[in-house]
Structure 1
Amino acid sequence: MELNPDLQEKKIFLIEGLKRTYKGQYDAIQPLPYIKDRLYCVDKVFVEGSVEVCLASELTPDTRGSWERLDSYKSIYTDFRFKSKRRIIQGEPGYGKSTLTLQLAYDWCNDVSDSPMNNVEILILLRLRQLGSVKSLFRAIKSFLLFHEPRVSKHEIENIIIHSCSSVHIILDGYDEYPGRDSNDNDDVHRIIKMELFADFDVSLTTRYLPECLRKETKGAKLTGFDDKARDEYIRKAVVGNNDEAVEEIKQWLYENSILADLCQVPLIFVMFAHMAHDQRDLMKFKSVTQFFKHMIRCFYDHLKQKYGDNRSNKFYLHEMEHHELDKIAFEGLNKKNQQLSWIKTGFRQRIGPELYDQYILVGILVEEDEVSDDCIGNNVSFTTMVRFYHKLFCEWYAAHHLVTLVKNAHDLSDRLRFLDPFDLQYLFRFACGLDPDAGKKLINHLKGLPGGDNFAILCILEQTGDVNDIMDSVKELCSRRVAINTVNSALLQRSTTQLLEIASKNHIPISRVWLNHCCPRVDESGLNLILESGLSLSILSSLQELWIRDDRKLTNEELAAILSYSSQCTSLKVLEFIKYDLPDTIPVGSIPSSLKSRNVKVWNFIDYGKCRRLNLQTGQWQACDGLGNLPGEEGFHDTSYQCSLANFNRAMSN
């Protein structure tokens, strides 16, 4: 449809207005919230973390065994297997969902040639948490993206987008923070997700969890955090450039603070850690995440004290120590069936006091953002200033202080904490245990009574004492028996178990055997981490003695070679066992690591009742073994680990 000259001019105004808005957003990336005069363009700091896509025919919360790693975020839009008009990009808080959307906006505004946004005529990027009661997409575009462009009306926006565009891509950022999420309202956001509106438009939705109204045509991707490669790239790109010595120094800080390895998979936290490690040459060694977070908050205030000198330092110190009302607000927000992560500024500021509020904004702990008011009439738009914590982890930090007070004075914790899910709020519990030993003891007893809570309780003991020696007996007892990680386990249990295994390995505690059940493990590009289906990683375990993996799927030669390579680096490994796998009949001898041969590691493949074969490490051939697990020529050697494996296999099959 050919536009009349007037509307064609309006279309130019619309596109220019959108680009002006996006530029203001992607030019204001702030890696350290307390340094407000150090802003970056997203293209200067954006680093691709791990991206995976779901190749199942239908996207559901319990989709298993069908996630595959992508080389780039661009493949979400270019891989033919992921072709769809509706795409969901999942990720936990701080994993870079919003930063990815800003990179896509940068690509569009700057005509980046190899970007999937290059051929998009109009890109609409909306932050859903700002929409408030706005139900119309076009009203939201006018209110948030073209508020500074009086030459284009809401009606003209609608006319241009529906009738005169060759391609439109809509990005809806942060569904989990959308005020109308999972409601029955027939607003434009839900109609778009259900493909009842703009079915021919490409739509991307970022979120922590899957909406209830998904159509089966929707394809899913997820961001799983920073691996070693991404961390190295960020340090070079945004912190020190190509100064190899400085890069290694920052990485060394992280290695020496191994207790933070899990926390630093979160890109937002690693970014702050990297900048702090570069800025502070005397960065201390942290024994717990509580200690690290306390240090980070102190850095926020120290920067402010240096900036304003002695005149306000005493007041800053007083406010740094006294935050009881902020603690209470944070706890109240998290301890709800539907968590509250943002508040109206006027009531929030009045509750904690204007002076404290202004300081939290200045420090960077709190962030303000405008949201469309509920009392808008007709085309008149008014805004309400909302306030939220810089990141949910900061909300958990302050809520933990109130949780300590609550726990110390409570007799029955179950009712008081009924809305606090330890998986969703892992660091709330860990912080509370690290802040107060007495409250920590009560919380640890509470956690032990929850399904899968034992392993998490051990991590909380570590937070409580800051000394690995205090949990050694528990870790040794755990590792003396079979340690199982099942795909049906909660993410909390999986995460706690992998962390404890890594603590054991770093402290040379023998790990008898690890059993990965339907976890679809694969080796990452570095060859140093085993990635589970949940997205969690298991680094090389030098003290691991036996690794058992069960899955009903086929492995390629390349996948098998990667697992053999990973296993060879577990220097104490004696047995590697594949259960129910469909494995290649022959393995190229060159892909079998020499260390497996020199240590004569037993590699078995249990296929069915009474059917087992063993890999001949010298020839690369699978060969039938006798009832004692021996290959021809090894008769007379009674392999007890084989008998144990056989008994385990029979139990697994009977279940």
Structure 2
Amino acid sequence: MELNPDLQEKKIFLIECLKRTYKGQYDAIQPLPYIKDRLYCVDKVFVEGGVEVCLAPELTPGTRGSWERLESYKSIYTDFRFKSKRRIIQGEPGYGKSTLTLQLAYDWCNDVSDSPMNNVEILILLRLRQLGSVKSLYRAIKSFLLFHEPRVSKHDIEKIIHSCSSVHIILDGYDEYPGRDSNDNDDVHRIIKMELFADFDVSLTTRYLPECLRKETKGAKLTGFDDKARDEYIRKAVVFNNDEAVAEIKQRLNENSILADLCQVPLIFVMSAHMVHDQRDLMKFKSVTQFFKHMIRCFYDHLKRKYYDNKSNKFYRHETGHHELEKIAFEGLNKTNQQLSWIKTRFHQRVGQELYDQYISIGILVEEDEVSDDSTGDNVLFTTMVRFYHKLFCEWYAAHHLATLVKNAHDLSDMLRFLDPFDLQYLFRFACGLDPDAGKKLINHLKGLPGGDKFAILCILEQTGDVNDIIDSVKELCSRDVDITESDSALLKLSTTQLLEIASKYHIPISCVWLIDCSPRVDESGLNLILQSGLSLSILSSLQKLGIFNISRRLTNEELAAILSYSSQCTSLKELEFDYYVLPDAIPVGSIPSSFKSRNVKVWNTTVHGEDRRLNLQTGQWQACDNYGNLPGEEGFHDTSYQYSLANFNQAMSN
């Protein structure tokens, strides 16, 4: 559609204004929330974490699709197998969904040649949590992206957008959208379901996959930072290619093994890396509660140095006296639909002027404008909302109130009915670490939940900070087969991998680990087995048997060789089993680790037809074995072919 000269001029205004708005957003990346004057352009700090795409969709909530790792976020838009007008990008809180959208906005504004946004005529990026009751896309664009451009009206926006040859809409944060999962026929839902702008490309970021959208879109998933991404971030954003400083930061982070738990989350890793670089006396932590307490103290210490006399106890009083903030955080999480933002005036009234100003100055709280419900037509009114810098901070303060309530409660079931530990794992871990008495009650409660026993063990560690207190539980767990199934909750998988690594570190024998439908692959370092969920399993020196189950999953020679190499570093390993995998008919002998041969590690494969065979470590051939697992030529081998034929003959005669 051709525009008249007046609208053509307004189109130029619109594009210029969009670019100014996005520049104000992508130039304000703040790795440490308490250092307001240290802002970065997104392109200077953006590092690609893991990205996977779902090539076959999840048809129902418990089933798994077919996921495959991509080399780059750009492949979400360029890989022909992922071709679609609708894409969902999933990721847990802090995994970089919003940062990715800002990188895409940077690419568009700066005409980055190899970016999928390069040929897009107009890019619309909206943060859904700000929309409030706004149901119209055009009104949202005018209210949030063009509020400084009086020359372009809501109706002009509609005409201009429909005239464009290429429009890409990015809707950031569906899980925080006020109208999420409702039956309202607003523009957001109509766009996603292709009832509106069916010819436009649309990307939606969210923490979870909405049930109503499972069949409508292609899915991608951010899986966090691996070792390579962490190295790149330190080099790029913290020490600027100083190899010696990179090595020092990595060493200091590795000294704190408990940080491995939190550093899977890119946002937490980023804060940790900057804190380690800034503080030469970083202590060692035995629990995530200790680490988070230290982080909050750093926030306050920075502000004390900047604004207050260090001898004043005024700040310390506020640092520890945050009871109302604890209640607000707990009330927000203790609901069927969690509340993660509040109207500023009400929040301010509850905590008081002085404390509110401190929380904002420190960076624990963040203000953001949202369209008010009182808006009418073109008369757009805004309400200032306040939220925690990250959901982990909300869980931290809520944990203080939870510990107080639990300590005085007789029945926890009713009190905790809205608090899902598999969604709020740090809320429970923090509460156990903050108060030993409350921790005991919570741990007993968790043990009674399906899959809660493993999480309870981690909470015991959180409570005491002493591995000796959980050694007996870890030994009992590892004495039997340990399953990690892809359909398990994220918390259950995380708890299991962490307990296995504790067992390995303390030389506790691990009888057998089964990875079921996890499609593991080995990372570039060769030291970690990356599961489909993005979790990693480091070298387990005390592991005796590793079993991997995937129906009809194919492995190339290179993939199989990488798994063999990883497994060979598990120095206690006696057996490696691939169940129902489709494997190469033979393996190059050079790909078989020499340690497998010297230790005579048995490598098994049950084929998709149910046939059992074993790898001949000398020839690289798969061979049938007898009922005892022996290969021809091995001592004790019994040829079972006669037994099978006799059994078949007797069966035929009886019929």
Calculate the TM-score normalised by the size of structure 2. Answer: 0.95
Aligned residue number for residue 482 of structure 1: 481
Q: 2:631 aligns to what SS in structure 1?
A: coil
Q: For residue 81 of structure 1, what is the amino acid of its counterpart?
A: R
The alignment partner of 1:613 has SS state of strand
1:56–1:63 contact (8 Å) kept in structure 2: no
Aligned-residue offset at 1:528? 2.0
Rounded Cα–Cα distance in structure 2 between residues aligned with 1:489 and 1:215: 19
Query: What does the per-residue CA deviation read over 1:119-160, in whole Å, with 9 as the maximum and x for residues that have no partner?
Result: 000000000000001110000000000001111111111110
How well do the aligned residues superpose, as a CA RMSD in angstroms?
1.5
Post-superposition offset of 1:517? 2.1
Equivalent position of 2:619 in the other structure: 619
Partner of 1:115: 115
- Structure 2 CA distance, aligned partners of 1:407 and 1:316? 28
Indicate conservation of the 8 Å contact 1:580/1:605, yes or no.
yes
| 1:326-345 CA distance string (max 9 Å, x none) | 00110000010000000000
Give me the whole-angstrom Cα distance separating, in 2, the residues matched to 1:548 and 1:358.
55
- Whole-angstrom distance in 1 between the partners of 2:376 and 2:608: 69
Q: Which secondary structure does the structure 2 equivalent of 1:325 belong to?
A: helix
- In the other structure, the counterpart of 2:93 is 93
- 1:65–1:520: 8 Å Cα contact kept in structure 2? no
**Which letter does structure 1 place at the counterpart of 2:478?**
C
**In the TM superposition, what are the counterparts of 1:245-324 in structure 2 within 5 Å?**
245-310=244-309, 313-324=312-323
Could you tell me which residue of structure 1 aligns to residue 199 of structure 2?
A: 200
Q: How much does 1:85 deviate?
A: 0.2
Cα distance in structure 2, aligned partners of 1:516 and 1:90: 23
Distance in 2, Cα, partners of 1:338 & 1:537: 31
2:119 maps to a residue whose letter is N
Aligned counterparts of 1:483 and 1:616: Cα–Cα separation in 2: 27
- The one-letter amino acid paired with 2:411 is D
Q: Is 1:537 equivalent to 2:557 in the alignment?
A: no
Q: Any idea what SS the aligned residue of 1:530 has?
A: strand
Q: Output the amino acid matched with 2:30.
A: Q
Per-residue deviation, residues 435-461 of structure 1 (Å, max 9, x unmatched) = 011110000000000000111000000
- Distance change in 2, residues 1:558/1:380 (3 Å): same
Deviations 1:205-249 (A, max 9, x none): 000111233263410000011110000000000001111121111
Deviation at 1:598, TM superposition (A): 2.4
Provide, for residues 629-648 of structure 1, a one-character-per-residue CA deviation record: whole Å limited to 9, x for no partner: 1222212389xxxxxxxxxx
Q: Secondary structure at the match of 2:384?
A: strand
Q: 1:171 to 1:610 in 2, by over 3 A?
A: closer
CA offset at residue 47 of structure 1? 0.3
Q: Distance in 1 between matches of 2:486 and 2:22?
A: 40
User: Secondary structure, in 3 states, of the residue corresponding to 1:538?
Assistant: strand
Could you tell which deviates more after superposition, 303-312 or 176-185?
Answer: 303-312
Cα offsets for 1:391-440 (capped at 9, x unmatched)? 00000000000001000010000000001011110000000000011110
Contact 2:433 2:464 in 1 (8 A): yes
Q: Distance in 2 between matches of 1:392 and 1:331?
A: 12
Match of 2:331 in 1: 332
Give the gaps of 5 or more residues in structure 1.
639-655
2:88/2:203 contact within 8 Å kept: yes
> 1:642 maps to what in 2?
none
The alpha-carbon deviation at position 472 of structure 1 amounts to: 0.9
1:151 aligns with 2:151: yes
Which amino acid in structure 1 is aligned with residue 564 of structure 2? L
TM-superposed CA distance for 1:73, in Å, is 0.1
The one-letter amino acid paired with 1:139 is R
1:63 deviates by 4.4
Q: CA deviation at 1:593?
A: 2.0
| Cα distance in 1, alignment partners of residues 240 and 177 from structure 2 | 38
Is the CA contact (8 Å cut-off) linking 2:91 and 2:207 kept in structure 1?
A: yes
Q: 1:313 to 1:67 in 2, by over 3 A?
A: farther
CA contact (8 A) 1:193 1:215 kept: no
Q: Say if 2:631 and 2:637, in contact at 8 Å, map to a contact too.
A: no
Contact (CA 8 Å) 2:580, 2:610: kept in 1 or not? Answer: no
Q: For structure 2, list consecutive stretches of 5 or more residues without a partner in the other structure.
A: 639-655
What SS is found at the alignment partner of 2:224? coil
Question: Structure 1: which amino acid aligns with 2:34?
Answer: Y
- Is 1:508 the equivalent of 2:507? yes
Find the counterpart in structure 2 of residue 564 from structure 1. Answer: 564
Whole-Å Cα distance in 2 between the matches of residues 596 and 22 of structure 1? 55
Q: What residue number does 1:356 align with?
A: 355
Tell me the CA shift for residue 267 of structure 1.
0.3
**1:651 match:** none
Amino acid aligned to 2:148: H
Letter in 1 for 2:55: L
Superposed displacement of residue 58, structure 1: 6.0
2: CA distance, partners of 1:90 / 1:312: 47
Residue 334 of structure 2 corresponds to residue 343 of structure 1:
no
Structure-2 residue corresponding to 1:432: 431
TM-score normalized by structure 1?
A: 0.95
Moved more, 382-391 or 504-513: 504-513
> C-alpha distance in 2, partners of 1:259/1:35?
25
Summarize the Cα distance change of 1:62–1:119 in structure 2 as closer, same or farther, 3 Å threshold: farther
Contact 2:29–2:40 (8 Å) recurs in 1: yes
Partner of 1:635: 635
Deviates more, 1:446-455 or 1:526-535: 526-535
Counterpart for residue 582 of structure 1: 582
Q: Give the counterpart letter for 1:582 in structure 2.
A: V
Deviation at 1:581, TM superposition (A): 1.6
* SS of aligned partner of 2:508: coil
Aligned to 1:54: 54
Deviates more, 1:325-334 or 1:616-625: 616-625
| Counterparts in 2 of 1:285 and 1:520: CA distance versus 1, 3 Å | same
Residue 167 to residue 610, structure 1, CA distance change in 2 (3 Å) = closer
Q: Deviations over 1:324-383 (max 9, x none)?
A: 000011000001000000000000000011110110000000000000000111210010
1:241 paired with 2:211, answer no
1:526, distance to aligned residue in structure 2 (A): 2.8
Q: Is 2:228 the partner of 1:229?
A: yes
- Pair 1:573–1:311, CA change in 2 (3 A): closer
Alpha-carbon deviation of 1:603? 0.4
1:584-603 map, 5 Å = 584-603=584-603
Q: Which residue of structure 2 lines up, in the alignment, with residue 470 of structure 1?
A: 469
The residue type equivalent to 2:463 in the other structure is Q
Partner Cα distance (2:207, 2:494) in 1: 17
Which shows bigger deviation, 626-635 or 438-447? Answer: 626-635
Partner of 1:209: 208
Residues 261-280 of structure 1, C-alpha deviation per residue, up to 9 Å, x if partnerless?
12100000000000000000
Sort the Cα spacing of 1:58 and 1:481 in 2 relative to 1 into closer, same or farther, 3 A. Answer: closer
1:405-484 map, 5 Å:
405-484=404-483
Any conservation in 1 of the 2:52–2:223 contact (CA below 8 Å)? yes
Work out whether residues 90 and 222 of structure 1, in 8 Å CA contact, stay in contact via their aligned partners in 2: yes
Equivalent residue, structure 2, for 1:8: 8
Q: Deviations over 1:468-494 (max 9, x none)?
A: 111111111111121112233222221
> AA paired with 1:174?
G
- Return the offset for 1:556: 2.1
Aligned residue number for residue 523 of structure 1: 522
Q: Which amino acid aligns with 1:228?
A: D
Residues 626 and 637, structure 2, Cα contact 8 Å, conserved in 1: no
1:37 aligns with 2:41: no
Amino acid at match of 2:331: E
Find the aligned partners of 1:429 and 1:464 in 2 and give their Cα distance.
10
